[in-house]
Structures are given as C-alpha cells and as structure tokens.
Structure 1
Amino acid sequence: MTAAQGETRPLRIVVVDDHPVVRAGIVAMLSEHDGLEVVGTGRNGAECLNLVADLAPDLVLTDLRMPVMDGVETTARLSATPGAPPVLVLTTYDSDTDIVRAIEAGARGYLLKDAPLQTLVDAIRSAVRGEEVLAPEVAARLSARGQVARSAQLSAREIEIVALVADGLSNAAIGRRLFIGEATVKTHLLRAFAKLGVNDRTAAVSAAYREGLIRLD
C-alpha cells in the first residue's frame, strides 16, 4: 500500500528507465535530497511491477518507451491495482500521442527529462500528495499543435471538474460526486491543464475564472 508523505521519513521511489546511464543519473540527482529515497530501479515495466509488489514505494518514476513493457502499459496496470503508488512519467518524448496515452493510462503527471531538478522534486512531492503535474512545456506543446482544444473549448465535464476543484474537493470526492473513477477525474484535469496552459490545480481554477468558465462564490 502506498504510504502517505510524512515528516519522519523520506518518500520512497522506484525509478524505471532502460538506459543505465540515465537511470544512474536520476538516482544520483534524487539522492541529493534528504526527503527522497530511491529504493529500487528497473529497466522496464515488468521489473517495475515486481519492484512495486516487493517494496511498496510511494511513487514510480518511469520512462515512456522501454522494451518488454513500456511506460503506458506499466501505468495502466498500476492504476488498475488498488493501493498501487502514483506514476510520474519522466521522458524525452513530447508528442501529443505519447502524452495523451500516458495520461489516459492514469499517470499522475508528465515531465520532460530536461526539467530542472527542483521541478522534478516538487513534482514528485505533488504527485504523492495526490496532485496532478503537467510540465508547462507539455501543456504549451499540446495547445500549439492543436491536438487539444483551446481553453474556450473546455468540455462540459472538464468545466464541471475544475469547478469542483474550486470548491475544494479532492479527486476522490469529485469521482464520488460525479460517479466516475478517480483516474478519469485525473485525465479530465490534466487535459484541462493543457487547454488552459497551466500545470497545477490552483492555476487551473484561476485561469478558468478569468475566462469566465466558472464562478467563484
């Protein structure tokens, strides 16, 4: 079962990447922070699933394209497993197809490997808290390529979910209110982030309010 973030111990992370040098570099960077601990590393999704079962980490940090089992399938399997840790994708691939596939599989967030270390650290902590993380570059690229509609064209469901976020509801509470799964809530939120050009819940609420999509009572 995933452990919640606490003050008494570091967050336990499993890092999955098929390139040994990249994997070692990520581990070295994360090890610089007292609040983070890499408890296991894997070369593909199959190894990741075994590590999660054995180690019960707080978060999985995974690449997208890997042999044997890629990051999307790994994310989907973990998302379908009760008590599994959240998945944060860290990759060099920034195509709209890759991003949407990862989000729809249930990824808590999507970052590019050129992200600053502090951005990665903050994203890990946010993901463990249950927040969605979308790199600004990813949101901008999705919008620029026109694969996701602009902010004025948020779907009715996306507007509804952002409004509930503004009311202070968690993803789980929103799912119960709307009779949809928590992973579906996350997917709608991350798509709304991309359309609004933001990368967190607070900014999404502010942007939606500015555009007249929601009202704040």
Structure 2
Amino acid sequence: MSEPIRVLVVDDHPVVRQGLRTFLDLQDDLSVVGEAADGTTAVAVAEELRPDVVLLDLWMPGSDGLTALRGLRASGNPARVLIITSFTEPATVLPALRAGAHGCVSKDIDPPALASAIRAVHAGHVLLDPDMARMLAQGEQRRTETRLTAREHEVLAAIARGRANREIARELGLAEKTVKTHVSAILTKLGVQDRTQAALHAVRTGIVDP
C-alpha cells in the first residue's frame, strides 16, 4: 500500500482545524501532518514538514492565504495547494490561482468531496468547484466585453464564425484596412497571438455561441 497523502491544514479557527483533522485522519489514504493558523506560519511549517498538499484558508488575521502562497512559491516548496474558502467570488479566487493555488473549493463542500478534491490535486489536477468555475467564466466574459468596443465585439463575433477580413469588411460595411486595425486591437486586448486563439476565447467565455 502506498504512503498516505500528507496534508497540512491552515486555518485561523482551531475548531475548523480540529474538524478537518478528525475527518481527514479517518481516511486510509490521507494523514494530517500539521496545522498552522496564518500564512507566515504555514510557510515555515510546510518547509519543516514537507506536506504533499496544503489545505489553505484565504482569509486569516495577520498574514493571509495569499501570503502563504507567495511564500511557498518563493521557497520552491513542491506542495500542492488546495484553497478552502467561504469567499468564492472571482475577485477572491483569481488572485489565489494566479499566486500558485492548484484548486479551490467552498467550505460548504461535503466532507467526502473534500477528500476527493485533495486526492485530485495531489494527483496533479487543477480543481475548481463547479459554481466557482462558472462565476470565473462569467467574470472573464464581463471583463472582455468591457475591454472591447462595440465594433470590436462585432468583429470578434465574425472571427469566431470563421470570417476572413474581406468578408467581415463586407458584412459590417467597413474598409478591409479598418477591419485589420480592429483585429489587431482585439488580439492585443485579449492577450492572444492569433485569430484562432481569439475565436476560442470568444466561444469559451460565451461572447459568441459555439
């Protein structure tokens, strides 16, 4: 039998830490090897214990979860990080993912699902609660729509339908040179390299239907 997955629990509430430890230690393949109550302590404990997975709360007094994520990344600690949080808004989740988290689940998650999430993150998967994933996609769509002008939105929709610049120019009553200018602006604003990536972005974020 393989060694159990070593888990570090980081939360500022002792009752939460104890509850998580009690449940996780009941799993044959999971073992809580340590606890921490803030981000700075989490980094130090993770360096000492070398857990496989850090189960990390984001909002903690003093040094928070983002502090822990940045510290783990700066120290080169290989632990996978699963965020467990009550705050699931994109403005909260996105910075954590960008700082190196490998997944994020709500504190409302069922205990068996949490155990499965820890296993999935340990196995190398990036995991998001379905509701969070949907909110992130919706947030990305709103940000994209805010960045693009109405005309750029029309051009992007046409690109996603596979239209060439000449066809777009004819459909929208524009000069082909003007369409090229819009395409260039769209690629820059979306941070993509070519028309194909722009089209995929448009479909993925729901700007246009597949």
Question: Which of the five TM-score ranges fits, normalised by the shorter chain?
Answer: 0.5 to 0.7
Secondary structure, counterpart of 2:35 in structure 1: strand
Match for 2:40: what amino acid?
A
Unaligned runs of 5+ in 1: 1-6, 164-191, 198-209, 212-217
Q: Which residue of 2 aligns with 1:127?
A: 121
Contact 2:40–2:67 (Cα < 8 Å) also in 1: no
- What are the within-5 Å matches in structure 2 for residues 33-182 of structure 1? 33-145=27-139, 146-147=141-142, 156=192
CA deviation after TM superposition for structure 1 residue 144, in Å:
4.2
Aligned counterparts of 1:89 and 1:196: Cα–Cα separation in 2: 24
Aligned-partner SS, 1:106: coil
Q: Provide closer, same or farther for how the CA distance between residues 148 and 29 of structure 1 changes in structure 2, counting only shifts above 3 A.
A: farther
Say which SS state the counterpart of residue 39 (structure 1) adopts.
strand
Higher relative contact order (CA 8 A, sep 6+): 1
TM superposition shift of 1:78: 0.8
CA–CA separation in structure 2 for the residues paired with 1:121 and 1:109? 13
Distance in 1 (alpha carbons) for counterparts of 2:35 and 2:144? 37
Q: Is the 8 A contact 2:10 2:38 kept in 1?
A: yes
More helix by share: 2
CA distance in structure 2 between the partners assigned to 1:123 and 1:131 by the alignment: 9
C-alpha contact 1:142 1:148 (8 A) present in aligned 2: no
Q: What TM-score, normalized by structure 2, do the two folds share?
A: 0.66
Change (3 A) 1:136 1:24: same
- Counting matched residue pairs gives 159
Gaps of 5+ in 2: 146-159, 161-185
Per-residue deviation, 1:148:
5.7
- Identical columns (%): 34
Counterparts in 2 of 1:149 and 1:129: CA distance versus 1, 3 Å: farther
CA 1:132 to 1:43, structure 2 compared with 1: closer, same or farther past 3 Å? Answer: same
Q: Distance in 1 between matches of 2:118 and 2:35?
A: 16
Sort the Cα spacing of 1:143 and 1:83 in 2 relative to 1 into closer, same or farther, 3 A.
closer
Whole-angstrom CA distance in 2 between matches of 1:141 and 1:96: 7
C-alpha RMSD of matched pairs (Å):
2.8
Q: Please name the residue that 1:24 is paired with.
A: 18
**Which of 1 and 2 has greater Rg?**
2
Structure 1 residues 196, 8: closer, same or farther in 2, change over 3 A? farther
* Stretches of 4+ aligned residues off by more than 6 angstroms: 152-155
Contact 2:50/2:77 (8 A) holds in 1: no
